[in-house]
């Protein structure tokens, strides 16, 4: 049996960056993945991911995302490659929507450059966004989008060159914690280490029975469209736009549909649109269908109403997934009841944090305290 200081199960968003940071700190680390990241069988594919700092999901995220922004820029400099493109980011909805409240709370607390725009002002700037008259938009001026797969590729390259051992096409099947070590079993072998991090996205459901009933895996049907005239949707002309709008059947303030669209990246032709909530469970059976009729009709209705110029464009569909906790916040920390096993669950908004999560888990696995308040993300909170 081979011995390591640390084992990382899952080499996507969290795993690639944690392996890299541990290797940079001189640790003997083994990274395992059932596929060969980046790939399109997890949660990190589809080219682009938004990064914003006026964090509508809660102020606790802001210090982490501020550090992540610095680290993305550092990674770009080290590789002389652009990963982060500034686009601006709009949060759109009726004034009382929780998303707008969260946006302004974070922006004000951390003095993040932002503006409040009326529906008229928003439509004047971006005529393709069709806001009802009483809606408002919170504009984060400096937000952007990241090249997701490229980021993971670079992190794994760095990790390997710093000495991390990377095993792809190797499925982790189980593990056992002893007082002085931990063992991880795979389809090929058994490995031993001081600590292990499980950041296997939907794979965490099978690997962590301690979290049974708390994690759910959801289908995210992503739609790509190619505008005839890409100009108004290209970088610089079109911000990331996230919408939180009352559902058709609900009275305002009761239930919301959430969806977003992202601008076209340089060198690309397609614009991305996807729903963010009311997602169907991802099961063995539903995994093969990129989109079903119900999902298509629901998204099409939202697009027709709020992004009408995109409704006529023939879509290409792609399936992605969210692995969610009951409250939608991350799980970052020790697996409940264990001392040497740690877990990461990010749900639908974790990519932007990848490099800071590398630092956080490198600290936790080495028994050091990260510089962030992680109490909101405690895996024992449910």
Ligand X SMILES: Cc1cc2nc3c(=O)[nH]c(=O)nc-3n(C[C@H](O)[C@H](O)[C@H](O)COP(=O)(O)OP(=O)(O)OC[C@H]3O[C@@H](n4cnc5c(N)ncnc54)[C@H](O)[C@@H]3O)c2cc1C
Which residues of the shown chain bind ligand X in the complex (CB under 6 A)?
Answer: 9-15, 32-35, 37, 41-44, 46, 49-50, 171-172, 199-201, 203, 207, 220, 222, 274, 320-322, 344, 346-352
Query: Burial, 368: exposed, middle or buried (Cβ in 10 Å; 0-12, 13-18, 19+)?
Result: exposed
Least spacing, CB of residue 78 vs ligand X, in Å: 21
Q: Which is nearer to ligand X, 61 or 135 (CB)?
A: 61
Q: Which is nearer to ligand X, 244 or 344 (CB)?
A: 344
Least spacing, CB of residue 259 vs ligand X, in Å: 11
CA 62 to chain centre: 15
Least spacing, CB of residue 351 vs ligand X, in Å: 4
Least spacing, CB of residue 310 vs ligand X, in Å: 16
Least spacing, CB of residue 249 vs ligand X, in Å: 25
Least spacing, CB of residue 223 vs ligand X, in Å: 10
Q: Which is nearer to ligand X, 131 or 166 (CB)?
A: 166
Q: Which residues of the chain form beta strands (DSSP E)?
A: 2-9, 29-32, 48-51, 84-86, 89-93, 114-118, 136-140, 144-147, 165-167, 172-177, 182-186, 190-198, 216-225, 240-246, 256-262, 271-275, 316-324, 331-334, 341-345
Q: Which is nearer to ligand X, 135 or 175 (CB)?
A: 175
Place of tokens 């610089």: 236
Separation in Å, CA 39 to CA 44, 47, 143, 229, 256: 8, 11, 26, 30, 31
| Two structure tokens written together for 66 | 């501020």
Q: Which is nearer to ligand X, 14 or 325 (CB)?
A: 14
Least spacing, CB of residue 251 vs ligand X, in Å: 29
Least spacing, CB of residue 263 vs ligand X, in Å: 12
C-alpha triplet 16, 278, 119: angle, nearest 5°: 95
Separation in Å, CA 54 to CA 60, 62, 134, 341, 359: 11, 7, 22, 32, 22
* Measured distance CA(321)–CA(339) in Å, rounded: 29
Q: Which is nearer to ligand X, 180 or 197 (CB)?
A: 197
Tell me how crowded residue 361 is: count the other CB atoms within 10 A of its CB.
Answer: 28
Q: Which is nearer to ligand X, 256 or 330 (CB)?
A: 330
Q: Which is nearer to ligand X, 168 or 247 (CB)?
A: 168
Place of tokens 């009802």: 132
* Measured distance CA(201)–CA(212) in Å, rounded: 14
Secondary structure in 3-state letters for 343-378: EEECHHHCHHHHHHHHHHHHHHHCCCCCCCCCHHHC
Least spacing, CB of residue 118 vs ligand X, in Å: 26
| Two structure tokens written together for 105 | 């709370």
Q: DSSP per residue over 92-134, as a string? A: EE-TT-HHHHHHHHHHHHTT--EEEEEHHHHHHH-TT----TT
Q: Which is nearer to ligand X, 12 or 263 (CB)?
A: 12
């Amino acid at each position: 049996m081979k011995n390591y200081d640390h084992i990382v199960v899952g080499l996507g968003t969290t795993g690639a960056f944690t392996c890299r940071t541990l290797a940079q700190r001189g640790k003997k680390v083994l990274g395992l993945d059932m596929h060969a990241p980046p790939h399109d069988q997890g949660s990190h594919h589809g080219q682009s991911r938004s990064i914003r700092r006026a964090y509508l999901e809660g102020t606790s995220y802001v210090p982490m995302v501020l550090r992540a922004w610095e680290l993305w820029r550092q990674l770009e400099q080290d590789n002389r490659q652009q990963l982060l493109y500034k686009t601006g980011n709009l949060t759109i909805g009726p004034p009382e929507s929780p998303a707008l409240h969260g946006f302004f709370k974070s922006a004000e607390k951390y003095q993040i450059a932002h503006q409040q725009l009326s529906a008229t002002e928003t439509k004047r700037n971006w005529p393709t966004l069709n806001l009802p008259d009483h809606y408002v938009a919170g504009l984060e001026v400096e937000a952007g989008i990241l090249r997701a797969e490229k980021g993971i590729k670079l992190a794994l390259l760095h990790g390997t060159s710093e000495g991390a051992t990377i095993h792809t096409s190797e499925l982790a099947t189980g593990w056992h914690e002893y007082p002085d070590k931990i063992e991880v079993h795979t389809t090929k072998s058994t490995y031993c280490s001081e600590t292990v991090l499980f950041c296997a996205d939907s794979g965490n459901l099978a690997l962590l029975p301690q979290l049974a009933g708390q994690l759910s895996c959801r289908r995210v049907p992503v739609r790509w469209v190619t505008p005839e005239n890409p100009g108004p949707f290209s970088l610089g002309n079109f911000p990331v736009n996230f919408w939180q709008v009352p559902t058709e059947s609900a009275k305002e303030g009761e239930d919301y549909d959430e969806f977003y669209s992202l601008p076209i990246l340089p060198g690309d032709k397609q614009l991305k649109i996807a729903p963010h909530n009311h997602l169907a469970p991802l099961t063995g059976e539903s995994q093969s269908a990129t989109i079903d009729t119900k999902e298509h009709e629901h998204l099409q209705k939202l697009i027709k109403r709020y992004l009408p110029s995109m409704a006529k464009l023939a879509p290409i569909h792609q399936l992605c997934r969210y692995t969610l906790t009951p409250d939608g916040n991350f799980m970052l920390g020790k697996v409940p009841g264990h001392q040497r096993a740690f877990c990461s669950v990010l749900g639908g908004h974790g990519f932007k944090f990848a490099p800071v999560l590398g630092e956080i888990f490198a600290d936790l696995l080495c028994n050091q305290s990260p510089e962030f308040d992680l109490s909101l993300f405690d895996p024992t909170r449910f």
